Amino acid sequence: MKAPKQITIDDYDYHLPTDRIAKFPLENRDESKLLVYRDGVFEESVFNLVVNHLDKDTLLVFNNTKVIHARLFFRKETGSQIEIFCLEPYQMAISIVFEQRQRCTWMCFVGNNKRWKNSPLYRTIEVDGKEVTLSATRKEAVANTWIIDFEWDNSAMTFAEVIERFGVIPLPPYLNRSAEDSDKERYQTVYAEHEGSVAAPTAGLHFTQSVFDNLRKKGINTEFITLHVGAGTFKPVDSETIGEHEMHVERIEILRSNVEHLLSHVGKPIIPVGTTSVRTLESLYWFGVKLQFNPSLEEMHILQWEPYELTDKGEVPLEQSLKNVLAFMHRLGVDKLYGDTQLMIAPGYKYHVVSGIITNFHQPKSTLLLLVSALIGNVWKEGYSYALNHGFRFLSYGDSCLFLP
C-alpha cells in the first residue's frame, strides 16, 4: 500500500452520470435505499430498516450542526447582483456570533466581486410588519475571501434571525439548481440544533422520529456531537497526490458528557453517522494522544498529517486517550471542548474510535471517498458499482450506506 501522502487521487475516481445525482430528496426521508456491507457482502435494504442491521450494543454518534442561510444577495443601484457567502465568523466564537445584535463580522466569499466598488451594499425587507435594512461593508481580502462587516437597524434581531430572514440555504454546487422553500426543511437533519454549517451532514438526512423510536426500542444508544461543516468539504482534490492537497479546517464542539458516554462504550461498536462525525471522533482521539505526550496543552488543534506522525510515538489506547481529554476539561474547569481539526483520513490511516459508518455516496476523487476507503478498503469500488447498477441515487439528497468492515 502507498504511504498516504503518495496516494494518487486518480485511483479514487469513478464514472458518475449526472442523472444519478439526486437533485431533490425523496418525499419521505427514511424511504431511501440503504446499501449494507457486512461480512464481506453487499446487499440492498431500505433506510427505515437500518435498525435490523445494527447490533443492540451499538452507539450511534450524530453531528447536530445546523445549516445557516449562508448566501446573501444584494443588488447595486446599477442592477448588478453581488452574492456574499458567509463562511465563518471573524475573530469570534461561532456560539457567540449568532447572538450578536446590530453588528457582526464574517469571513466570506464574494460573487461578482469586481462589480463591488468601495461603498457599502444595502438591502431592505419587511419583518413582522417593519422594514429592516441590512448593510454589508467590504473591509479587506484574506486569500480568496473577504472580511465583511454586517450591520442592521433593528436591535431586537439577533444575527441568527437576520441571516434566517435575508439569507438563502446554501445547496451543494453539484445540485446545479436554486434553493426552494422546501430545502429550508429538507436540507436540515431533524435533530439539527447548533447553527454554524454551510453544508448539511447529509448522512443524517435519512433519519426520522420513527427511525429513532425503533433504535430506542432495540436498545441502541445515541450521542450528539458538533462539527460545523465548512465550504471546504466540496473542495476538489486538484493535485496528483493527496500529499499536495490542503485539507480544510472545521470547528468542533464536544461536551464532557459526550466523552464520558464514549468512554463507557469502549470495546463496543461505535458507528458515526456521516463523515463529519467520523472526523470529530477520530480528532478527539488524537487530541487525547497529544495530551498523553504534552499534558499542559491549552487548546485542541489537529493538523492535517499530525496523527500519522504521532503514530510513531507509540500506541495510546482509546480508553486512555478519552481519560486524558476528561482530565484536560477538569483542569480547565469546562464542560464543553472547543477545537478545530484539519485531519485527513486516507487509506493507510488506522481508525481508533470508529468501527463502521452510516454515510451517503460521495463525489469521485473526493477526500470523503478517501475516508470511506480507509475504512473498507478498495471494496468501495465494488459497492459503488453495485449501487450504480441497482438504481441508487447519489450525493447529498441521494441514498445511504451502512458499512461494517
Looking at the domain 70-167, which fold is it? TATA-Binding Protein (3.30.310)
Give all strands (DSSP E) within 81-193, no chain letters: 81-89, 103-111, 121-127, 130-142, 145-152
The contacts of residue 176 (CB under 8 Å, 6+ apart) are 23
Looking at residues 53-71, what average pLDDT do you find? 96
Looking at residues 287-307, what average pLDDT do you find? 96
Looking at residues 49-60, what average pLDDT do you find? 96
Residue 168 corresponds to which cell in the numbers above?
A: 438563502
The string of pLDDT tens digits covering residues 139-174 is 999 988 999 999 999 999 999 999 999 999 999 989
Residue 363 three-state SS: coil
Of 39-48, 79-88, 186-195, 233-242, least confident by mean pLDDT is 233-242
**Between 119 and 388, whose confidence is greater?**
388
Q: What is the pLDDT of residue 237?
A: 86
Q: What is the pLDDT of residue 248?
A: 86
Q: What gap in Å lies between CA 237 and CA 23, rounded to an integer?
A: 23
DSSP for 161-190, written as a single string: HHHHHH-B----GGG-S---TTHHHHTS-T
Q: Where in the chain is the domain with CATH 3.30.310?
A: 70-167
DSSP for 285-325, written as a single string: HHHHHHHHH-TT--SEEE-SSHHHHHGGG----HHHHHHHH
Q: What is the pLDDT of residue 1?
A: 56
Residue 247 three-state SS: coil
**Arch. (CATH architecture) of 4-66+191-404:** 3-Layer(aba) Sandwich (3.40)
* Residue 373 falls in which region: left (phi positive, over 0), alpha (psi -120 to 50) or beta: alpha
Q: Which amino acid is at 251?
A: R
| pLDDT higher than threshold 90 for residue 93 | no
The string of pLDDT tens digits covering residues 215-228 is 999 999 999 999 99
pLDDT band for position 122 (cuts 50, 70, 90): very high
| pLDDT higher than threshold 80 for residue 236 | no
Q: What gap in Å lies between CA 373 and CA 167, rounded to an integer?
A: 36
Looking at residues 253-265, what average pLDDT do you find? 97
Q: What is the pLDDT of residue 240?
A: 92
Q: Where in the chain is the domain with CATH 3.40.1780.10?
A: 4-66+191-404
Q: Which residues on neighbouring strands pair with residue 81, listed in sequence order? A: 75
Inter-helix orientation angle 256-264/318-332, to 10° = 160
Q: Are 204 and 191 in contact (CB under 8 A)?
A: yes
**Between 314 and 340, whose confidence is greater?**
340
Q: What is the pLDDT of residue 144?
A: 86
Kindly report the pTM of this predicted structure: 0.93
Q: Which residues on neighbouring strands pair with residue 335, listed in sequence order? A: none
**Mean pLDDT, all residues of the chain:** 94
| pLDDT higher than threshold 70 for residue 403 | yes
